[in-house]
Amino acid sequence: MAQLTLELERKLTTAVERMPAFPKSVQVILEMTRDINCLPRNLVGVIEKDPVMTIKILRVINSAYYGLPNKITSVGQSVVYLGINTIKNLALSFAAVGILPRFNTTGFDIQRYLLHSLSVASIARLLCEKFARAEADPGDCYIAGLLHDFGKVVFAQFMVGEFMKALAITVDSGKPLYAAEIEVIGADHAFVGALLAKKWKFAEPLVNCIRDHHAPDAEPSAMLDCLRMADAICRKLAFGDAGNPWREEELTALPVRFGNDIEATITALGDLEKIINDAQAFAQIGTER
């Protein structure tokens, strides 16, 4: 994979600069910013639902020029450092790139992907608040959920032929998507997502979570546990779709902290309807699952 790494890094880092954001956030940002007095908290609320915008902002704020002693892990924190107007103008510049098309030639549904990412983000935060409050930051768990599958959008946008093949292998053989990606591309979305996150100097725990979210044997952390569990819950309940359907055999590999009764964990979380409705509204998906 080492040789592929250099090639991939070169190709993908430049590609992500040109990557458009999700339709809803572009639309809302353009609308909101026509009003010079738009509320900062509403602006943050939109940006932090869009994985592309979030990544672009974290990438800028964590760049070496700002010499920040601690890594910035949330959009809100970026606003404290850069000011709301800078963030507003950054968001506008991201919006100006255009919007991600719902489907590209790979057939990967970007809006169902967004629904998956938003659901995993919110549920990871909820899991942290309920079960791991003392060990991890719920906001960090949210970002880990939002960005964990970012590598897939990169593949869908910039390695179209290869990703299409990998998706087809998963559909035909039932093989996990990450295994199919390794087979076709030589690296999976977790590896590529983490590669980019590391290059952009994201916080190490976040990089590790992205890298290890399909690795049950990875060194456990509260954040990774919450992310992996949230991913499992969303896939089991089919909240959105990121090309990797739930397989019952995954039950045995769930984080030990939550036991192996996924239904009990889901019940303990309480009513997830609001989380899912919000995510659906933003992903612009009706009531379909």
Partner 1 sequence: MKVKMWGVRGSIPAPGPSTVRYGGNTTCIEVRSDDDSLIILDAGTGIFPLAQTLLTRLPITASIFITHTHWDHIQGLPFFVPLYIPGNMVRIHGAYDLVSMQGIEQVMNVQMQYSYFPIREAELRAGVEYETLTVGEPVAVGDATVTPVLLNHPVPNLGYRVACNGRSMFFTGDHEPWANIYPPDDPEHANYQAMIDHRYTELYAALGELDLLICDAAYTLAEYPPKIGWGHGTFDHAIKFAQRIGAKRLMCTHHEPTRSDDELERVFAEAMSRHPEPGCEVMLGREGLEILL
Instruction: Give the footprint of partner 1 on this chain (CB under 8 A).
Output: 37, 39-41, 44, 60, 63-69, 76-77, 79-86, 89-90, 93, 139
The amino acid at residue 254 is: L
Among 113, 94, 96, which Cα is nearest to 104's? 113
Q: How far apart are CB 252 and partner 1 at their closest, in Å?
A: 37
Looking at the DSSP bridge assignments, the partners of residue 65 are none
Give the DSSP per-residue string, 130-155: HH-TTTS-HHHHHHHHHHTTHHHHHH
Residue closer to partner 1, measured from CB, 69 or 286: 69
Q: How far apart are CB 70 and partner 1 at their closest, in Å?
A: 9
Residue closer to partner 1, measured from CB, 39 or 253: 39
Residue closer to partner 1, measured from CB, 9 or 137: 137
HSE-CB at 249 with a 13 A cutoff on CA atoms is 3
Among 224, 229, 232, which Cα is nearest to 205's? 224
Q: What is the DSSP letter of 172?
A: H
Residue closer to partner 1, measured from CB, 3 or 37: 37
Q: How far apart are CB 35 and partner 1 at their closest, in Å?
A: 12
Q: How far apart are CB 39 and partner 1 at their closest, in Å?
A: 8
Residue labelled with tokens 């590790």: 208
Can you tell me whether residue 22 is helix, strand or coil? coil
- Distance between CA atoms of residues 284 and 28, nearest Å: 12
- What are the distances in angstroms from CA 257 to CA 156, 205, 224, 228, 260? 33, 18, 11, 11, 9
- Distance between CA atoms of residues 120 and 281, nearest Å: 15
Crossing angle of the two packed helices 222-236 and 138-147, in degrees rounded to 10: 50
Residue closer to partner 1, measured from CB, 89 or 260: 89
Residue closer to partner 1, measured from CB, 6 or 64: 64
Residue closer to partner 1, measured from CB, 96 or 253: 96
The 10 Å Cβ neighbour count of residue 161 is: 10
Q: How far apart are CB 138 and partner 1 at their closest, in Å?
A: 9
Q: How far apart are CB 98 and partner 1 at their closest, in Å?
A: 17
Q: How far apart are CB 199 and partner 1 at their closest, in Å?
A: 15
